[in-house]
Chains A and B, each alone.
Chain A
Amino acid sequence: FQDQAEQFFKSGHTNNWAVLVCTSRFWFNYRHVANTLSVYRSVKRLGIPDSHIVLMLADDMACNPRNPKPATVFSHKNMELNVYGDDVEVDYRSYEVTVENFLRVLTGRIPPSTPRSKRLLSDDRSNILIYMTGHGGNGFLKFQDSEEITNVELADAFEQMWQKRRYNELLFIIDTCQGASMYERFYSPNIMALASSQVGEDSLSHQPDLGIGVHLMDRYTFYVLEFLEEIHPASQTNMNDLFQVCPKSLCVSTPGHRTDLFRRDPQNVLITDFFGSVRKVEITRETISLDRDIAGFE
């Protein structure tokens, strides 16, 4: 019976993907890049390899002429943690971070010449984490200060993914002003969403670093990262704990979440179902017997 119970609560995915999008560029939006890179680091630490991560960043921070510490992007003040490092793999950089490319990645409607690393090759057994950060408003998200994606377009993209069974379950996390407006219009099954603030609220940044001269991170992502730091690949921590992260007293804004489209109870959803990459394994009990032809073989 124990096995049956385990079976019921398990999500049934066989692989994990992460799509991490920083929609801002320019030096004063340093914190959005740090946000995204911090989530990238956590997800890699918990087991998702680069081949299963699509990272979209303007990537104009580390080598920005205004960066007093070139080739670094820090996420904590006093420069404790360099989230840029030397093994970051940015898949869509600079002007490639567009609404069109983002939607192409999600829906799979990608030109045939696109290399493997720029594709989301998920299937019906993939659990996908989608994290977005940047400047948002009520019902839209700005991309690089030149275009917008609306919550309707995003919801439609997810529906297209569902129709083609490009995911098993999807976790959407957004850290922008009025973030909850972006998940309002979702209508496809098996989606869980978290946002840093409600409609009408701003999401605030965390601390400025006087040495670098900009705010290093946003509050919501900062506390999510603190939470994730306690998670390791065998953790049994579930989504209900993630919903408690960054209460109003710390965040000033009110983080929100949406679980009505999700089939399982959030209490039974492990953080590692989305942030890690635990694989189902089976002991190999069969072998075949090969005729070892000795002729001509030393």
Chain B
Amino acid sequence: ASSPEADAALHPLQDSSLGSLTMYVVPETSPLLPQGINAYVGKHRSALVRAAGTLPTLRSRLQQLTQVMSFTASSITAALSDRVPDGQPGPDARRNLKSSLGYEITFSLLNPDPKSHDVNWDIEEAVTRYVQPVLDKLSLVANFSVDSQILYYAVLGVTPRYDKESSSFLLSTHSLPHVINPVEARLGSSAASLYPVLNFLLYVPERSHSPLYIQDKDGAPVSTNAFHSPRWGGIVVYNVEAPAAPQASLPLHVDVDMARVMEVFLAQLRLLFGLSREELPPEFLLESPGNEGLADWELDRLLWAHTVENIATVSTTLTSLAQLLDKIGNIVIKDDVASEVYRAVASAQSAMDKLATGHLHPAFQASKEAATSSERAFFDPSLLHL
């Protein structure tokens, strides 16, 4: 038997409620785990762990695995990062998407050269087939809405450099920060929704600047040909293959390989949420979650972080409100604002109780209600200090 088979077979025996973890310790010499691998992390909420020579070693291995599959001190600190005094985790910690009731995802196809490229992307099909399963998995975390658009004659803000050796055009890493701005003005956003927007841009370079590669710090082209910006979204550069016949008539018909593109976009979506698989120890083998996009325990990681973030938001919001009432004398609290405050406090306390007993799902729900109530109270239009 292999690890995936064993994991799948054991799955029905587990309590797989949110936040729970089941670990199976297998003998040190067991062939169930490949050579050099000490743990197999399944895509649900379980793992197979190789026994170690000594108990302390096993214990530390289990501890490490538990942290990977739920939360670590640093992931919680990152969730609390805007309340941590400056300089401590550093500005990099505050780069994951903030906890929100919803997110708007916009896919944009940028075709700067429609005379040369007649680009077709079956975005509706791609969203239904590849994106929706991931969003369904994430639906516990927030509401997602998806839209798409095509922008013609939208150019990047930077001119790529021609590299003779590779006969291609290169975008260096330090030019990347300037790429997004000129495009951003044209992206637009939904007038109705106030949720944060995540932009995923597919850029098909002009014929005169093809092929275009993003150059890594060491000079080599980036394998994904993509980059992303925290709390904003991601960009993929899609090169059109040069036509076989040099005299092919323009515009060239291009059918975008949506699966390949979505593999990068969905990876970027994961990274924006803070789900990375790169920092994990090499002796842990992770099962691929397939088209669901993320493992159950990764969903739990998000929920732990968001629950903590929500509760912290409630606490700072209500404390701020109280402090403001002290500092600014002429703010009056109406009854409906007061009841939101009471509701926020009650929900936050319930969330903390549930967190303490490890009931992740109810804790998260309570934390969401608490955060919503506290925001409604703090931002009530009647509290203007005029």
Contact = CB atoms under 8 A, between A and B. Distances in A.
Nearest to A292: B259
B270 A288 contact: yes
Given A100-B384, A116-B190, A159-B327, A49 B91 contact: no
Interface in B167-186: 173, 176-182, 184-185
B278 interface: yes
Instruction: Say whether chain A's binding surface is mostly helix, strand, loop, or mixed.
Output: loop
Interface stretch (B8-16, B30-38, B287-295): B287-295
Interface string A275-298: 011111111111111111100010
Most chain A CB atoms below 10 A, which of B177, B293, B327: B177
Nearest to A107: B384
Contacts of B188: 51
Contacts of B320: 160, 163-164
A69 interface: no
B103 interface: no
The bracket for how many chain B residues form the interface is: 35 or more
A159 B321 CA distance: 11
Contacts of A290: 130, 259, 262-263, 266, 290-291
B144 interface: no
A119 to B, nearest CB: 7
Given A11-B91, A104-B384, A156-B385, 16 more contacts: A12-B94, A47-B181, A104-B381, A115-B192, A116-B191, A163-B320, A233-B157, A263-B86, A281-B229, A282-B230, A284-B264, A284-B267, A285-B224, A286-B270, A287-B264, A288-B270
A247 interface: no
A279 B181 contact: yes
A289 B98 CA distance: 26
The bracket for how many chain A residues form the interface is: 35 or more
B191 A49 contact: no
Nearest to A190: B86
Interface string B338-352: 000000000000000
B124 interface: no
B384 A109 contact: yes
Interface in A50-65: 50-51
B324 A280 contact: no
Interface of A: 7, 10-12, 14-15, 44, 47-51, 99-100, 103-104, 107-111, 115-117, 119, 121, 123-125, 153, 156-157, 159-160, 163-165, 233-234, 263, 276-293, 297
B228 interface: yes
Nearest to A293: B129
Contacts of A293: 129
Contacts of A49: 181, 184-185, 187
A188 to B, nearest CB: 11
B4 interface: no
12 contacts: A103-B385, A109-B379, A156-B385, A163-B320, A279-B177, A281-B229, A286-B224, A286-B277, A286-B278, A287-B267, A289-B263, A293-B129
Contacts of A297: 125
B191 A153 contact: no
A156 B384 CA distance: 11
A277 B232 CA distance: 12
Contact of A111 (B130, B271, B381): B381
Given A14-B95, A288-B270, A99 B386 contact: yes
